[in-house]
Structure 1
Amino acid sequence: MTSTIEIDRLHKRYGTRIALHELDLAVRPGTVFGLIGPNGAGKTTTLRTLVDVIRPSSGSVRVLGVEPRLGGAALRRRIGYVPGELHLEGRSSGHRMLAFYAQVSGERDSAATLRTARELADRLGVDLSRSVRTLSKGNKQKIGLIQAFMHRPELLILDEPTSGLDPLVQREFLQMVREAKDAGQTVLLSSHVLSEIQQTADEVAVLANGRVVAEGDVASLRLGSIRRIRAEIAIPDAAAAAAAFDRVPGLTGLEVHPGDGTLQLAGTIEGAIDPFIKALAPFEVRDLTVEEPDLEESVLRLYGSAAASPAPDAESGAARGAASDVEPGAAAGAESGVASRSASRTDPATVQDAPPSRRARRARGDRR
């Protein structure tokens, strides 16, 4: 079976900085593939390469069987893309902006695409009648999600898609991803939120310093095996209780704070949590919190040597050099998620709402 995304020895260099080190990756059709890693790992550089915003220094990339640099607008119409830094501006309403995107981003009837957009807006709770520039970051992010999903593309490329969304909307988004998979669409999801990957992804790759340090299904990578714990128990003899928890396997960094007839515990569990729960069982538990640590901490603990090595080639440096490698107009189209590069070079909202004299000056190339 041909992979939806095939990345072979992808290498990206910005001057002396290396963002990607001969990356190999394959995403099967109809699956949700999670791409995770700390900041500077190379996630955004990889995704921008797939939509031809950034071009490789070496190696090859094929998306839906086509090289991104050769696919043009026809390929981009088959992709829904949400960039990591979404910029939506202009005086037009959300509905008007999506109507423009509907005309350029798919082979489906634009009226049907707009109906889907309105249904998604209802699900995500965004008012499409409002001017885009007046929307909050979270509501702009919802518009970005709608334009990516509304034409039901074969491939969804989503870079930190839940940034700025509240927990209820995040849950609705995850349901949208599941529905896309059930409809046969392929989803490539980059995230810092481990629980998003655990709930939706079939396979996952862990990136660190531009390299894949682990790849496989979520369970085999043990990404959920590290947890932070906090507990408060009622106990008259705090010293004796603290000694009992010192013997719990996998519990590290234990902090003990005696109180008035209570004992507060905090630490990190790696592996099974059952021994810690059994250690709590003899006591009256007044409070208990179990949460996943930051993704970066998980990666460092599980894949420490590769993830913790110095990273002079971090994406922060890559981003500064990206402009020199981007074809004029490409970045604007990809950042807005518009399928057509030529259509996306100018913000439709600005053009449609500008007074005639401004449009005339723009047509002449007069920027004064």
Structure 2
Amino acid sequence: MNVIEINELTKTYGKSRGITDISFQVEEGEIFGFIGPNGAGKSTTIRTLLSLIHPTSGSAKIFGKDCIESAPEIAKEVGYLPSEVFYYDNMKVMDLLKYSASFYKKDCTKRIKELAEVLNLDLTKKIDDLSLGNKKKVGIIQGLLHEPKLIILDEPTSGLDPLMQQKFFELLQAENRKGATILFSSHILSEVQRLCDRVAIIKEGKIVQVEKISTLKENNHKKFKLEMKSDVDQSYFELEGVSNLEVNQNHVSFLFRGNINTVMKKIADIQIANLWIEEPDLEEIFMHYYEKEA
């Protein structure tokens, strides 16, 4: 079953670009990455999905219900963390979170305390006295306190230090294991690579690709680095599927796409001192998609 279904969603803002014909589905129980550079249209898509802004055309459904018609009903089961969080400065953290919980008509006190402990957040402090990172933690707890079936995160890690990011990812994985579906928007590829099953790549308000993370990697280049026992002629490695070939005396590096056995046979015929084969990271894969589009 699809928890999110977006069909040809378009939002235009006069002459400035919004989003155009966005379509993708997020399956139940999946951690789905939504990735693109800042200003690509990720937040616009999410806000339209949450009925915070209305689309110019197209439609979106959550839990099979229309996002605009059933917005209040859908909101009960959705946790949302916007990219920037703003609060009433004079409130204490616990008071704010209890106020948030009151919208869901259930007692979330135990849950709030558990989350605050995991994220190392002092609930007795005033919002005004919190650092940017701690304000972000308040937003995370606000999004998770009612144990939503769908968690929508827009650039959630900005302001969190690396150790806290790690705890946050573990928290999300635990929620996912309990059955929550997660839509994770980011411009940081390594985050998506670590967490997500599938990813939609957005560029200038349009989807360029929806793909499994594993397929993105498989269909892409492998990075080869070789250290030879003696100098080698560059022409030896000029094979079909080889690109970015660099030969520096007895060091050779290149990207390869295709049947890896052809390269391995070639390497087996020469004396090598060392060999490294690496997966390209999503950064390189991403640039590949952008260049292809361009």
- Report the counterpart of residue 9 of structure 1 in structure 2: 8
Distance in 2 (alpha carbons) for counterparts of 1:168 and 1:251: 37
Helix, strand or coil at the partner of 1:139: helix
Counterpart check, 1:212 vs 2:199 = no
C-alpha displacement at 1:196, in angstroms? Answer: 2.2
- Report the counterpart of residue 52 of structure 2 in structure 1: 53
TM-score of the superposition, structure 1-length normalised?
Answer: 0.66
Name the CA shift for 1:247/1:131 in 2 (closer, same or farther; >3 Å).
farther
Name the CA shift for 1:244/1:216 in 2 (closer, same or farther; >3 Å).
same
- Report the counterpart of residue 177 of structure 2 in structure 1: 182
- Report the counterpart of residue 282 of structure 1 in structure 2: 273
TM-score of the superposition, structure 2-length normalised?
Answer: 0.80
Alignment RMSD (CA, Å): 3.6
C-alpha displacement at 1:216, in angstroms? Answer: 2.3
Distance in 1 (alpha carbons) for counterparts of 2:96 and 2:245: 51
State the number of aligned residues. 286
For 1:257-280, what per-residue CA distance to the aligned partner results, in whole angstroms no more than 9, with x for missing partners?
x9xxxx999x8856599989x89x
Helix, strand or coil at the partner of 1:204: strand
- Report the counterpart of residue 252 of structure 1 in structure 2: 244
Distance in 2 (alpha carbons) for counterparts of 1:268 and 1:138: 41
Identical-pair percentage: 32
Q: Larger strand proportion, structure 1 or 2?
A: 2
Distance in 2 (alpha carbons) for counterparts of 1:96 and 1:27: 34
C-alpha displacement at 1:299, in angstroms? Answer: 2.2
Gaps spanning 5+ residues in structure 1: where? 309-368
Counterpart check, 1:304 vs 2:263 = no
Distance in 1 (alpha carbons) for counterparts of 2:96 and 2:254: 47
- Report the counterpart of residue 114 of structure 2 in structure 1: 119
Distance in 1 (alpha carbons) for counterparts of 2:291 and 2:79: 34
- On the 8 A contact 1:159/1:189 being kept in 2, the answer is yes
Name the CA shift for 1:282/1:66 in 2 (closer, same or farther; >3 Å).
same
Distance in 2 (alpha carbons) for counterparts of 1:201 and 1:217: 9
C-alpha displacement at 1:303, in angstroms? Answer: 4.2
- Report the counterpart of residue 161 of structure 2 in structure 1: 166
Name the CA shift for 1:250/1:37 in 2 (closer, same or farther; >3 Å).
farther
Name the CA shift for 1:71/1:250 in 2 (closer, same or farther; >3 Å).
same
Letter of the 2:289 counterpart? L
Letter of the 2:172 counterpart? V
- On the 8 A contact 1:253/1:268 being kept in 2, the answer is yes
For 1:76-117, what per-residue CA distance to the aligned partner results, in whole angstroms no more than 9, with x for missing partners?
12110011122234122211211111111x24x32xx12111
For 1:156-198, what per-residue CA distance to the aligned partner results, in whole angstroms no more than 9, with x for missing partners?
1101111121222112221122222221111111112223222
Name the CA shift for 1:126/1:22 in 2 (closer, same or farther; >3 Å).
same
Distance in 2 (alpha carbons) for counterparts of 1:227 and 1:39: 28
- On the 8 A contact 1:215/1:221 being kept in 2, the answer is no
- On the 8 A contact 1:224/1:292 being kept in 2, the answer is no
